[in-house]
Structure 1
Amino acid sequence: MTVTTGGCQCGAVRYRIDQALENAHICHCRMCQKASGNYFQPLARTPKAKFSVTRGEIGWFRSSDIVRRGFCRDCGTPLLFDVIDRDTINIVLGALDDPKAVKPTFQCGSAEKMPWFGGLDTVELSDDETAWYAAVAPSNHQHPDHDTEQWPAEKRS
């Protein structure tokens, strides 16, 4: 059985999916842009019966009459896209513990796709971020990409 885990940035919400994800895609629609705070939102589907929250509680925002979006109330991480009347739910792929394991197979919402999106590989890569990441690392409060018995591991003052 394929088991996939994920959760929010702060670790307050963790989840488990007991099936391989299906229908992996990137949505460029304006609603997904706003919900993710990004130019697109990567999603994949699973039956609701195969999805379970293992820590915390998901917050919900009703983005339309038929859709609600799940997120962490503590850190704001987008987690879910739920068409309320369906027996499936879409998982936001960036919140998976291993997001590179799920490759999108199609794109939708193309009318709102950024016109320069296809040229991102030609955008210059910065090579001076090493010092920045080294400065952030000692004070990183992000939950690790795996389940933990508790989080934070120790109380911070």
Structure 2
Amino acid sequence: MHRGSCLCGAVRITVEGRLPRPNACHCTACRKQTGHFGASLDVPRTRVQVEGENAICWYQSSEKVRRGFCGTCGVTLFWDPIQYDWTAIAMGVFDGPTDTSLSMHIFVAEKGDYYEIGDGLPQNAR
């Protein structure tokens, strides 16, 4: 069981079971939303419990994806592909150890010019 919350505590999540390996997304939208790059992991919705759903604001960033954040403190929470049965949870939401590590970097063709990726993980242009 893994627990997490936003900065103010208005939204709390619980994920049942082991967490999959997250990826780091360097796309323009993730960089603008998070202020750097986004790190998240994909979890089936059936394994996620959310308390404080009324505090979540959703931004429809494309036809297929919405992004969830806390309407009180602004913390990035979810990247939610509407047509699938999973959601991506931002790694910064988790309290305590996650017992996982990054698997890869995606959308590196859009990464900021102010940093380099040097951890040796796979890098996908898209």
The two structures share one fold, judged by TM-score above 0.5: yes
Amino acid at match of 2:51: T
Residue 43 to residue 12, structure 1, CA distance change in 2 (3 Å): same
Aligned counterparts of 2:53 and 2:60: Cα–Cα separation in 1: 20
Percent identity reads 33
Verify the 8 A CA contact 1:19 1:46 in the aligned structure 2.
Answer: no
Partner of 2:50: 53
The CA deviation at 1:76 is: 0.6
Cα distance per residue 1:63-95 (max 9 Å; x no partner): 111000111111110000000010111000011
The CA deviation at 1:118 is: 2.4
The CA deviation at 1:119 is: 7.2
The CA deviation at 1:43 is: 0.6
TM (norm. structure 2) is: 0.84
Verify the 8 A CA contact 2:21 2:100 in the aligned structure 1.
Answer: no
User: Which segment drifts farther, 7-16 or 55-64?
Assistant: 55-64
- Decide which structure has greater helix share: 1
Verify the 8 A CA contact 1:13 1:56 in the aligned structure 2.
Answer: yes
TM (norm. structure 1) is: 0.68
Aligned counterparts of 2:116 and 2:58: Cα–Cα separation in 1: 32
The CA deviation at 1:53 is: 0.6
Partner of 1:32: 30
Partner of 2:74: 76
The CA deviation at 1:116 is: 4.0
Residue 101 to residue 23, structure 1, CA distance change in 2 (3 Å): closer
Q: Please tell me whether Structure 1 or Structure 2 has the larger radius of gyration of its CA atoms.
A: 1
Q: How many residues align?
A: 117
Partner of 2:104: 106
The CA deviation at 1:5 is: 0.8
Aligned counterparts of 1:90 and 1:28: Cα–Cα separation in 2: 15
The CA deviation at 1:102 is: 3.0
Verify the 8 A CA contact 1:93 1:102 in the aligned structure 2.
Answer: no
Amino acid at match of 1:104: L
Partner of 1:87: 85
User: Which residue of 3, 15, 23 maps to 1:5?
Assistant: 3
User: Gaps spanning 5+ residues in structure 2: where?
Assistant: 119-126
Residue 52 to residue 119, structure 1, CA distance change in 2 (3 Å): closer
